[in-house]
Chains A and B, each alone.
Chain A
Amino acid sequence: MSPVADAPPRLAGEREQTQARRQLGTWRTVGAILRKELLVELRTLESVPAMTLFSLTTFVVFHFALNRSSVEGDLGAGILWVTLLFASILGVNRLFVADAEEGGFDGFLLAPVDRSAMLIAKALTLAAYLVALEIVALPAFSLLLLGTPLGPALPGLLLTLVLADLGVAVIGTLIAAMAVRTRARDLLGPLLALPLFVPIVIGAARATAPLLSDSHPTWPAARWLGTLGLYDLLFGLIAYALFDFLLED
């Protein structure tokens, strides 16, 4: 087994692999993984129901903890974002568990596809979970706790939600992939993720606070949307650069 005699067939094999990799195309892979993830979630209903139920319970807890029947302004924005983030942590914790336990990682690594596809697909999956969560949590929040009407604030709020969801999805995917193959995965995930979520909370809560205030619901300040967008972009690049290293082996 000298490396010289071994080299030509291996090289040829690698060339074929890279060609196949190019042919398959990253986006087709992303689509396939995304479809698989959503199908699994639809069949097992593991993450999204837990996340929504958690958010509803948290609103009730906040009602009793603060002893207030309605909130608005920065208090309302704070409650909304704390609840959404903690609910999203549940999804982050479960995101890669099936892949780690049922050999999904091995199957993916054996396939001749771009590895970043996994990051994109998983981040889109998590973003879809977050959207599903917010479809339930936002009306519930408006019904249970919010003192001001949600309607006029909705366009600005939706934009803030989209930007924050993107950031949470990217960071959550990176952290989930890091935490899932450690011994204390359920402990490490939230510990790693929460400090990284702090700038998102800052941007999202500050952007949402005036929208939920009694006086004049306006469009969120551009500087907070800019902060969120920039943070999403930078973390997207970091995750794209580093995700491959979490998948080797």
Chain B
Amino acid sequence: MYGKGLRALSISTVAAMTVALGLVFFYAPLEAEQGFLQKIFYVHVPLAIVSLCGFVIGGLLAIQHLRTRDSRWDMRSYVVIHMSLIFALATLITGSIWAKGSWGHWWVWNEPTLVSYLIIFLLYATYQPLRFAIEDPERQARYASVFAITAGAFVPMNFIAVRLSTAYLHPRVLGSTSNLPGSMALTFLVSFGAISLLFATLCKYELTAKHTRSQIRALRRRLAGEPARAPRGRSAAPSPAPTTLAPAGRPAS
């Protein structure tokens, strides 16, 4: 059930990534000032936008969890935030490389986007420890959702506050797609689509893997004649309830 469409999604992600990288390296023109280095823009900015959106989506999924009390929404929220955290780390690293190349420093405090990212990253880095520190699964899901909503609302507020705090903004070479030449804009949009697809695919893989693992565990326990729902150990990840088991009395095939 969870693995449905995974193959098509994976193939289209690989294809989109290939096309995007091809465009980045062979089609997009060299930028006059920064030269080859500017090409990191096609990876860095989509990563940043996707992880930001991921954090906000994680908050929206958490709202859905608190409204419906369905643990599947918590699961989705967890997976999306988990993936966004990884993407945010990649954003920080690529941003640092770009900063080193164009401004000569690994870290630049007056680039508001980098600084906001660091703060948001530090906040979300406590998401897993928070989950890990609560044993009761129901309360863990509830508290994690409260955190996800708070942090999701914090993301745009933090960006505004940090942006206000920088007295002058760096000349934003490529602030929006509107002032890009056509070939660059096309490359950017394609790589943005590719990275969004990558995000979706990875989320789906994680969801499927978690679901499959819990189903296998339930089946194993059933073979051993134990109750289907295992006693929970300490875990930061929500465990999905096994849903598609054969009804009791018949052997599960």
Contact = CB atoms under 8 A, between A and B. Distances in A.
Interface of A: 174, 178-179, 181-185, 187-188, 191-192, 194-196, 198-199, 202-203, 206, 223, 227, 231, 234, 238, 241-242, 245-246, 248-249
A136 to B, nearest CB: 29
A198 B157 CA distance: 11
A188 B133 contact: yes
Contacts of B135: 183
B122 interface: yes
A182 B128 CA distance: 12
Contact of A192 (B66, B120, B147, B149): B147
19 contacts: A174-B150, A179-B130, A182-B133, A183-B134, A184-B129, A192-B123, A192-B126, A192-B147, A195-B120, A195-B122, A196-B123, A196-B154, A199-B162, A202-B162, A242-B146, A242-B150, A245-B66, A245-B146, A249-B138
Contacts of A184: 129, 133
Interface of B: 66, 119-120, 122-123, 126, 129-130, 133-135, 138-139, 142-143, 145-147, 149-150, 153-154, 157-158, 160-162, 164-165
A238 B123 CA distance: 16
Contacts of B158: 198-199
Contacts of A194: 122
A188 B134 CA distance: 11
Q: Majority SS of interface residues in chain B? A: helix
Contacts of A231: 157, 161
Contact of A198 (B133, B139, B143, B161): B161
Contact of B145 (A199, A238, A245): A245
Given A174-B150, A245-B142, A248-B142, A188 B119 contact: no
A234 B153 CA distance: 9
A233 to B, nearest CB: 11
Contacts of B138: 249
A133 B165 CA distance: 27
A231 B161 CA distance: 9
Contacts of B149: 238, 241-242
9 pairs of A and B residues whose beta carbons are closest in the complex: A182-B133, A199-B161, A195-B123, A183-B133, A202-B165, A191-B126, A242-B146, A184-B133, A195-B122
Contacts of B126: 188, 191-192, 195
Contacts of A192: 123, 126, 130, 147
Nearest to A206: B165
B169 to A, nearest CB: 15
